[in-house]
Structure 1
Amino acid sequence: MASRLSAVYSELPPGERAIVRVLLDDYPFAALGSLRALAERAGVSPPTASRLFDRLGYAGFAEFQAAVRDGARDRSRLLEFVTAPGAPRAQPSAGLPEVRRAAEDLRSGLDGTLAAVSEPLLTAAAALLAEARTVWALGGPLSELAAEYLIRQLASLRPGAHRVPEPAHGRARTLLDLGASDVIVAYDFRRYSPATARFVHAARERGARLVLVTDAWGSPLAPHAEVLVSLPREAAGPIAPLAHEIAVTELLLVAAAARLSPAERLADLDALTQSLT
């Protein structure tokens, strides 16, 4: 999409060029907001912006956004990292400059991630995690690790904390007993998991409430979340934002623990652990 916009740029009238400049300067994120916000950034009217997308052959801005999202989902961050200009190449002493750059990106991304998780957001999430009858967590191919961490720690704080099983028949049995007093915590990052989406949609149909941890690209599950934790784009490292997911999970656990006062349960857990070792 970025290449296509660059190719048509010289043929466009000034107002539409302004829109393309904004899109390319902050691609793809500039395309993921509203049409009015995009037009304001470019200093043009919304009808001017609409004409650009008509010219590009889309049936409106929404269809253009869908194409941008689809293109983003099809690209691997790791592929982008290793094929970008200036990307690391195999060398006998390779890695140090890239590692330093990755460390700076990680530090900056973590700062942005922690700043994005506001106190009201944590309060709302903690209430759901503490008061639900059961809490079920799931994720995609990598974010399942964050879901596993959440449940391992949350199960020490309260009963009824479980991972959503992988097989379809296990997920079906889980859905049988879900209702409005249950909470799903989903970690959903591009490329977004169809299996996660199917389970969440089925759980929501049964009344379960959703806490969603996702990225700045716009998970299709976002409209269904009661609590939406959206990591900023700075959290998108070259491989996967797992460190950021774990950092957010730590904050969720601390907030839930503050509501649960689990000292007695944790003491029992320690005593049982010692008796079994």
Structure 2
Amino acid sequence: MDNDPVAARLGAVYPELPPGERAIVRVLLDDYPFAALGSLRALAERAGVSPPTASRLFDRLGYGGFADFQAAVRDGARDRSRLHEFVAHVPGARALGAPGDAPGTRVLAGSDPVTAAGTSGARSGAEAGDGVISALARAAEDLRTGLEGTLASLSEPLLDAASAVLAEARSVWALGGPLSELAAEYLIRQLASLRPGAHRVPDSAQARARVVLELGGSDVVVAYDFRRYSPAAARFVAAARARGARLVLVTDAWESPLAAQAEVLIRLPREAAGPIAPLAHEIAVTELLLVATAARLAPARRLADLDALTQTL
């Protein structure tokens, strides 16, 4: 989606927009391109703003109205995941023995593809190798740039505030979306070594209901929420907040709809999207949160006991 000119334009102007127009952009990018293909009224209702507010956004972007904006979306939108988009830009990807190769192609470990056509296989193998090297270099540069931006955005006061919440809470419950749940799982696995009462939010509705039933003002939910934002995470957070639980939110540059409810908001910069997904950046944030929390808890005795018990079990 980042290669789509309309989506890129929406992301670029987002920081400069007033709140109502930001809400429209969040809806558009959360469900791109489909959110743009209905009526203006439906789009405004999803964003919780008036149709005139939505119209002002498209005027600001230089379109001759919502219909022109929709036409641009239809022309440029690609309904593809970041993984699909990344793979599609690797030259010679099909020369590596994937389905659809020419008859007679085979791949030998440690060698170029060999075909019945002789040296043509060697040429295609070399082209594919060049493409893979180019793709790896591009991906590495994207990761490097994104990580630098992510780390620069994490100020000491922000990490201090987040670590205070994680250290002082009676219990900590973490959850994420389809991919960001891996960062939530990592947080809990490490945090459980530092302090008691660290849990991953369970998957089933019944188990989540039992968790919410016990939550109160001394408990904390850590949510990782990135486009496309998770409706299930939003439902759990809403129920937890209704019981008084506090929220630490890790999200992207466009901000999860949960941002307004967060006591501590960690917003990754736009560059942190990564070549395929922002998981590496989420883990980097989590690492720093764990370091800051460990500094507050001084858990040396707990970790020593944990190591000793691990040896006996």
* TM-score of Structure 1 vs Structure 2, range by shorter chain: 0.7 to 0.9
Deviation at 1:32, TM superposition (A): 1.9
Matched, 1:273 2:304: no
SS in 2 for 1:27: helix
SS in 1 for 2:191: helix
Which of 162, 167, 174 is residue 130 of structure 1 equivalent to? 167
Deviation at 1:80, TM superposition (A): 3.6
Is the CA contact (8 Å cut-off) linking 1:74 and 1:191 kept in structure 2? no
Deviation at 1:205, TM superposition (A): 1.0
Flag as ranges the 4+ runs of structure 1 deviating above 6 A. 1-4, 71-74
SS in 1 for 2:276: coil
Is the CA contact (8 Å cut-off) linking 1:81 and 1:87 kept in structure 2? yes
Give the TM-score normalised by structure 1.
0.77
Question: Which residue does the alignment assign to 2:189?
Answer: 152
Matched, 1:240 2:245: no
Question: Which residue does the alignment assign to 1:35?
Answer: 17
Matched, 1:81 2:118: no
Cα distance in 1 for partners of 2:238, 2:141 equals: 38
Cα distance in 2 for partners of 1:125, 1:108 equals: 24
Which of 164, 169, 179 is residue 216 of structure 2 equivalent to? 179
Which of 221, 228, 252 is residue 289 of structure 2 equivalent to? 252
Deviation at 1:30, TM superposition (A): 2.9
Is the CA contact (8 Å cut-off) linking 2:142 and 2:275 kept in structure 1? no
Q: Select the structure with the greater relative contact order (CA < 8 A; seq sep ≥ 6).
A: 1
Count of aligned residue pairs for this structure pair? 238
Cα distance in 1 for partners of 2:13, 2:225 equals: 20
Is the CA contact (8 Å cut-off) linking 1:126 and 1:252 kept in structure 2? yes
Matched, 1:56 2:38: no
Question: Which residue does the alignment assign to 1:170?
Answer: 207
Change (3 A) 1:50 1:136: closer
Is the CA contact (8 Å cut-off) linking 1:73 and 1:192 kept in structure 2? no
Change (3 A) 1:73 1:240: farther
Which of 132, 135, 144 is residue 95 of structure 1 equivalent to? 132
Unpaired segments ≥5 residues, structure 2 = 22-55, 96-124
Alpha carbon RMSD of aligned pairs, Å?
Answer: 3.2
Give the TM-score normalised by structure 2.
0.68
Cα distance in 2 for partners of 1:164, 1:211 equals: 14
Bigger-Rg structure (1/2): 2
User: Identity of paired residues, percent?
Assistant: 70
Unpaired segments ≥5 residues, structure 1 = 7-22, 39-48, 59-63
